Amino acid sequence: MQLKALDINGFKSFPDRVQLQFDCGITAVVGPNGSGKSNIADAVRWVLGEQSGKTLRSGKMEDVIFSGTQQRKPMGYASVSLIIDNVDRSLAFDCDEVTINRKLYRSGESEYRINGASVRLKDVHELFMDTGLGRDGYSIIGQGRIAEIVSAKSTQRREIFEEAAGISKYRYRKEQAQKRLEAAQENLLRLKDIILELEGRVEPLRQQSQKAQEYLGLAERKRALEISVWMMTIERSKELLRAQEDKLILAQGDHEDLQRRLSELEQGIQDTYDEIAKCNIETEQKRDEITALSARIGELGSQIAVSSNDIEHNKENILRLRTTIEAQSRSHAQIEEQLQMIGGEERKKQEELGTIEAQDAALREQLLTLERKNGELLREQNDLSSQRAEVQRSLSAEQLKIATSNTMLEQLRQNAEGIDERAQQNEAQIAELRDQLAQVGGLLEGIDEQLVSSQNMKKGYLIKHKSASERLQSLQQEQQALQAEQRGHLQKAKLIEDMEHNMEGFQSSVKYIMNQARSGNLGGIEGPVSKLISVESRYAAAVEVALAGAMQNIVVVSDAAAKYAIAALKNARAGRATFLPMSTIRPRSLEERGLERCEGFVALACDLVKSEEKYEGIVKNLLGRIAVAEDLDSAIAIAKSYRYRFKIVTLDGQVVNPGGSMTGGSMVQNAGLLSRAGEIARLRELAGKVGAQLEEKDHQIKAAGEEAAKLSAQLVGIDADIKTMSEDKIRYEGEQKRLDMALQSSLAQQEDARKRTLEIRQKLEALTKESTSSEDVIQKLRELERSLEEKLSGVQGRAADAAQEIAKVGAESSACGLQALTVRKDLEALQSQKEQLQSQQSERAGQAQDLKEQIAALEQRNGEIKASILQRQSQSEALGSQVEGCNGEIAKLSQRKTELEQKAAQSRQAERELHARGETLARELAKLEERKIAIQSEYDSIITKLYDEYELTLSMAQELAAPIEDMNAANRELASLRSRIKALGSINVAAIEEYKEVSERYTFMKGQVDDIERSKEELHRLIRDLTRDMKEIFIDNFQKIDHHFGKIFVELFGGGNAKLILTDPEDVLESGIEIYVQPPGKIIKSLQSLSGGEQAFVAIAIYFAILKVHPSPFCLLDEIEAALDDVNVVKYASYLRRLVGKTQFIAITHRRGTMEEADVLYGVTMQEEGVSKLLRLGVSELESKLGMKQ
């Protein structure tokens, strides 16, 4: 086995794929420091499974991936492949060439491959075990490893000697065996705990299982016997039902004939009452007509009185209008006098306005003269002001100069103060920076505490997550229970639907007819009444009682269809049935009024039933004359109010019959045919409610799932927080460095401030001298300014006097203008008043004409009213004649009503006789119906028990039932079985399976314990054998290494002696290894007293001795001769040559002696910064290219 090639891509400084080809002998890899040649050794370590970033000279594992330069982008992965010649099958692979590859992505994902197949790191380690290769082997030796073997403690030197002795594989197998032994012991303890628990359960479960098996046997016999007894009872009930139905049909026929006669009589009575009511209505109409005529006569009298009153009122209005005309004539004369007075006042105001306008013109002329004089004074004032302004500008310039100097002085002083202030601030900043440094230190401590707190919080969330998961599991179990409940309701509804479909509970004759209709042998069959109608559950009992046996009456299309059906029953001897032809049956109804106002009245029975429109006549025939009341008290009260003329049933099934008899008592639940539909609806509704609960449970499960997911997300968040805090710690450490640099910068600024303060003091002295010169110039300019001020003051006084005179004349002129404006407004007011009076004069002349016209109209209206009074008096006389005629017709109607009431009394007597007969028949029917209901109840009860107890339909039970010869004996046996089952007490049927499961598990666990005990014994034996073999192999190989170490030491050092000694010969597998050496001419007490070169030579001698005893297929030496002088390098290289026969060497070196012994040379350069290049060269060529010296 030898190394054929090393392929590197993206690893450290090798971004481009490079491949080193290796031949037998020595291959040297050379290059200047920093060129990346040691990265080749790191690549070999890495591909063989090295996991330590420190060993690979990296901060973290991702750092081995090429990180990029200014010219090159970073690589996304690093890949290294080791290609090994395996022709001699040294490696446990059946192929001539083995390629080991390791690849790492920047995401952190890593993979190992052997010949392209993905493997584990463990597989790579096992492949090279006891070959000297691998992560901890002696095939890769660097300077650090050389130093370690000398400086390490005696116990730490064992690893390399164990690998060399060839016992690494044995130790690995021993460690694996010990781990398996520990695992076996743990499993054994756990199994024994389980067995102890199972032993306490097996015996109780065995007893429970026996008891449960006995119970199942008794229960099965009880089930078979009960089914047979119940089926016998059902057959007997069917026979009784058929007999009872025949009796009931006959009684119902008689009762229906009586009801028809009674109905006809009631209809006659109703017709008589209708005619009496008609007479009453006509009488009332005539009386209403008389009332209307009388009212009309009274209305005409009122109208005549009103008209007479209107005539008198109009006469009064005429008198009032004539008085108004006379008043307006007097007002016209007064307006004329006012107009004359306003004309005189208007002329006076015109004269006053002319005087005021002349005075205003004179004042304006005087004002113009004064304004010209004032203009001359203002021009003189402006000239003096200009001279003064020029002086002031010069003065301002000098003052500005002084101000500028002062500003600069102030600025310099402020600058000085600013520098002083900044210096103080700098001092404060320095103190603050020192405080911040202390704070950052505290923050770092806080982050460490937060990291611990976050870890604790994570544990808490893990507990909550577990609780949420358990809550989710609990909700799912509740969901399963609800699903089971919903299935139960639906199955029970399905059973009742099957009973309805099979027409169980119907008379055999009805079943026969319906079967014949379904098969097409009979036509025109619509079905039993109970199947053609529907009713709300709360009304079901009332409608069932109201219909009684009529529920099984068969509705047919015509009397011909009924005739054919009766013939079919007769021919088949299938019993009797009642048929209701739709063509002949007529609806019946209650004509009694006011029922809806009776307390406790619910509705007519026909109104509580729903059916197709075509069956409406049938429904009204059966139920049209039956009322429904809330309870029996209400029913009795209603019956009394209507003299017991019709049948009334209550919501709970009690009956008040026509004539006054009552039928009632308790009712058997679900005995009626209509109740089945209600029960099906109730079960479906329950299933729907459970379905709603299931939906709610789904929401709860979803919420619990979301809660669990939320906690998972929070756990992820805490992990992220921990990562963030770790990053913060790194950031604060960086901040600590930054603050330290800022502190040094602030100290430098303090020195700069001191220098600037000195410069400012020099500038302050120069500016002070310049300011003193400007003060003298300012004094002269101020004297000139005072002279000009005095002249300007005299001119301004004269100008002020002129302005006052102008203001006085202007005020007088304004007063004249205001006075003229007032006079003009007075003239406008007089004109407006004049126009208003003239308008009133014209308006009143028109009003006088209107009043005369109104007087003429009123006189005309009085004539018309007198004519209408005469007409209404004539109408009143005619209406009096009509009233007398109506009174005569009322007398005739009263005589007709008396005759009809006598006829109604005779019909009532006949009705009472028929009601008495009807009550007798009703009692007979009620008894027959109650007997039938009792039989039907027993039948239905057994059907229900079959499903409730055994989940069987009638057809299923018929198949399971066995014939019973002695019913009494069967019942006695059933009683005995129930007693024996009761005596058994509580039964755990699940114990049978549980006992079987626990028993099998107990037996299995016992077998497992035996297997583990045997396995433990085998492992103990294996460990003993491995320990013995390891001792023998280690002692043998250690002695050989010690022998060769002594010889090689003498050759390399030119004399002296050396030995390897076990510190504990009694325990060679745990003993440390001491190195004793004595170079020629020296006496040393410890290896530390040797020089660095001598220590390296001792370590090299040990490695050479190991290679002598246990040659490695190839060996990579990374500058292990760096500490040797040139002479010893030659000795080292020449001895390396002697070992070439059994080991292939790759030497990373920069020593000439090693290069000269090399068969192949590879040079590593870094022409591009950060990127290593590989060259294959001769020795002389390499020296010229790399600039290496001897």
DSSP-derived secondary structure for 12-79: TTB-S-EEEE--SSEEEEE--TTSSTHHHHHHHHHHTT---TTTTT-SSGGGGB----SSSPPPSEEE
The answer to whether position 126 is within a domain reads yes
Question: How far is Cα 708 from Cα 722, in angstroms, rounded to an integer?
Answer: 21
Question: How far is Cα 1061 from Cα 1048, in angstroms, rounded to an integer?
Answer: 17
Helix (H) or strand (E) holding 1147: strand 1144-1148
Q: List CB contacts of 568: < 8 A, sequence separation 6 or more.
A: 512, 513, 516, 521, 522, 574
DSSP 767-832: HHHHHHHHHHHHHHHHHHHHHHHHHHHHHHHHHHHHHHHHHHHHHHHHHHHHHHHHHHHHHHHHHH
Helix (H) or strand (E) holding 867: helix 673-950
CATH number of 40's domain: 3.40.50.300
Q: Which two tokens stand for residue 100?
A: 């080991």
Q: Which two tokens stand for residue 466?
A: 């577990």
Query: What is the torsion angle, in degrees rounded to the nearest 10, for the CA atoms of residue 313, residue 317, residue 320 and residue 326?
Result: -150
The pLDDT of residue 401 is 64
* Three-state secondary structure of 1006-1060: HHHHHHHHHHHHHHHHHHHHHHHHHHHHHHHHHHHHHHHHHHHHHHHHCCCEEEE
Whether residue 421 contacts residue 413, with contact meaning beta carbons closer than 8 Å, is answered with: no
Whether residue 66 contacts residue 10, with contact meaning beta carbons closer than 8 Å, is answered with: yes
Give me the percent of the chain exceeding a pLDDT of 90.
9
Q: Which two tokens stand for residue 999?
A: 């028993």
User: Looking at this protein, which amino acid is placed at residue 296?
Assistant: R
Give the pLDDT band (50/70/90) at residue 113: very high
User: Per residue in 686-745, pLDDT tens?
Assistant: 888 888 888 888 888 888 878 877 776 777 778 777 777 777 777 777 777 777 777 777
Q: Which two tokens stand for residue 522?
A: 């009979």
The answer to whether position 637 is within a domain reads no
User: Looking at this protein, which amino acid is placed at residue 666?
Assistant: S
Helix (H) or strand (E) holding 114: strand 110-114
Tell whether the model's pLDDT for residue 1115 goes beyond 70. yes
Q: Confirm or deny that 39 is annotated as ligand binding.
A: yes
The pLDDT of residue 79 is 94
The answer to whether position 894 is within a domain reads no
Whether residue 608 contacts residue 628, with contact meaning beta carbons closer than 8 Å, is answered with: yes
Q: Which two tokens stand for residue 286?
A: 């005539």
Helix (H) or strand (E) holding 509: helix 508-518
Residue 636 C-alpha from the chain's centroid: 61
Q: List CB contacts of 238: < 8 A, sequence separation 6 or more.
A: 508, 939
Half-sphere exposure (Cβ direction) of 823: Cα atoms closer than 13 Å: 19
The pLDDT of residue 756 is 73
The pLDDT of residue 1178 is 56
Q: How far is CA 511 from CA 495, 507, 516, 518, 619, in A?
A: 19, 6, 9, 10, 21
Greater pLDDT, 1097 or 332: 1097
Tell whether the model's pLDDT for residue 1187 goes beyond 50. no
Task: Give the number of domains in the chain.
Answer: 1
Helix (H) or strand (E) holding 845: helix 673-950
Question: How far is Cα 513 from Cα 570, in angstroms, rounded to an integer?
Answer: 11
Give the pLDDT band (50/70/90) at residue 628: very high
Question: How far is Cα 348 from Cα 630, in angstroms, rounded to an integer?
Answer: 106
Whether residue 1115 contacts residue 1145, with contact meaning beta carbons closer than 8 Å, is answered with: yes
Question: How far is Cα 804 from Cα 825, in angstroms, rounded to an integer?
Answer: 32
The pLDDT of residue 760 is 73
The answer to whether position 1136 is within a domain reads yes
Question: How far is Cα 1181 from Cα 820, in angstroms, rounded to an integer?
Answer: 130
The pLDDT of residue 635 is 93
Whether residue 125 contacts residue 168, with contact meaning beta carbons closer than 8 Å, is answered with: no
Give the pLDDT band (50/70/90) at residue 1180: low
**Predicted structure pTM score:** 0.40
The answer to whether position 191 is within a domain reads no
The pLDDT of residue 696 is 87
The pLDDT of residue 399 is 63
Q: Which two tokens stand for residue 532?
A: 């053609």
Question: How far is Cα 606 from Cα 621, in angstroms, rounded to an integer?
Answer: 9
Whether residue 609 contacts residue 619, with contact meaning beta carbons closer than 8 Å, is answered with: yes
Q: List CB contacts of 1027: < 8 A, sequence separation 6 or more.
A: 174, 1069
**What letter would DSSP give residue 684?**
H
Q: List CB contacts of 915: < 8 A, sequence separation 6 or more.
A: 262, 644, 645, 658, 659
Query: Burial of 148 by CB count in 10 Å (0-12 exposed, 13-18 middle, 19+ buried)?
Result: middle
The label of the residue with tokens 């014939």 reads 963
Q: Confirm or deny that 34 is annotated as ligand binding.
A: yes
106: three-class secondary structure by DSSP = coil
User: Per residue in 198-244, pLDDT tens?
Assistant: 777 788 888 888 888 888 888 888 888 888 888 888 888 778 877 87
* Helices and strands in the chain, H and E counts: 19, 24
Phi, psi of 153 (to 5 degrees): -70, 160
The answer to whether position 1080 is within a domain reads no
User: Per residue in 885-897, pLDDT tens?
Assistant: 777 787 777 777 7
Give me the percent of the chain exceeding a pLDDT of 70.
90
Helix (H) or strand (E) holding 82: strand 77-85
User: Per residue in 961-1008, pLDDT tens?
Assistant: 888 888 888 888 888 988 888 888 878 777 788 888 888 888 888 888
Q: Which two tokens stand for residue 554?
A: 């068969």
Greatest mean pLDDT among 121-125, 298-302, 466-470:
121-125
Residue numbers of the domain that contains 105: 2-139+1112-1186
Half-sphere exposure (Cβ direction) of 1158: Cα atoms closer than 13 Å: 27
Tell whether the model's pLDDT for residue 101 goes beyond 90. yes
Whether residue 384 contacts residue 790, with contact meaning beta carbons closer than 8 Å, is answered with: no
Q: Confirm or deny that 33 is annotated as ligand binding.
A: yes
Greater pLDDT, 399 or 286: 286
Tell whether the model's pLDDT for residue 623 goes beyond 60. yes
The pLDDT of 416-422, averaged and rounded, is 72
The pLDDT of 113-118, averaged and rounded, is 91
User: Looking at this protein, which amino acid is placed at residue 294?
Assistant: S
**What letter would DSSP give residue 553?**
P
The pLDDT of residue 395 is 66
Q: Which range, of 89-98, 124-133, 865-874, 989-998, averages the lowest pLDDT?
A: 124-133
Give CA angle at 597 (596, 601), nearest 5°.
55
Q: List CB contacts of 103: < 8 A, sequence separation 6 or more.
A: 77, 78, 79, 110, 111, 113
User: H helices of 1054-1114, where?
Assistant: 1092-1109
Count Cβ atoms below 10 Å from residue 1163 Cβ, excluding itself: 22
The answer to whether position 48 is within a domain reads yes
Q: Which range, of 538-552, 825-839, 1148-1162, averages the lowest pLDDT?
A: 825-839
User: Per residue in 909-925, pLDDT tens?
Assistant: 777 777 777 777 777 77
Whether residue 582 contacts residue 606, with contact meaning beta carbons closer than 8 Å, is answered with: no
Count Cβ atoms below 10 Å from residue 535 Cβ, excluding itself: 22
User: Looking at this protein, which amino acid is placed at residue 926?
Assistant: A
> What mean pLDDT, rounded, does the chain reach?
80
Question: How far is Cα 900 from Cα 820, in angstroms, rounded to an integer?
Answer: 110
Half-sphere exposure (Cβ direction) of 448: Cα atoms closer than 13 Å: 7
User: Looking at this protein, which amino acid is placed at residue 699?
Assistant: H
Q: Confirm or deny that 36 is annotated as ligand binding.
A: yes
Whether residue 220 contacts residue 1055, with contact meaning beta carbons closer than 8 Å, is answered with: no
Question: How far is Cα 1101 from Cα 1120, in angstroms, rounded to an integer?
Answer: 12
The pLDDT of residue 685 is 83
The pLDDT of residue 631 is 93
The pLDDT of residue 406 is 66
Q: Which two tokens stand for residue 64?
A: 């081995």
The answer to whether position 38 is within a domain reads yes
User: Per residue in 739-785, pLDDT tens?
Assistant: 777 777 777 777 777 777 777 777 777 777 766 776 777 777 777 77
The pLDDT of residue 411 is 63
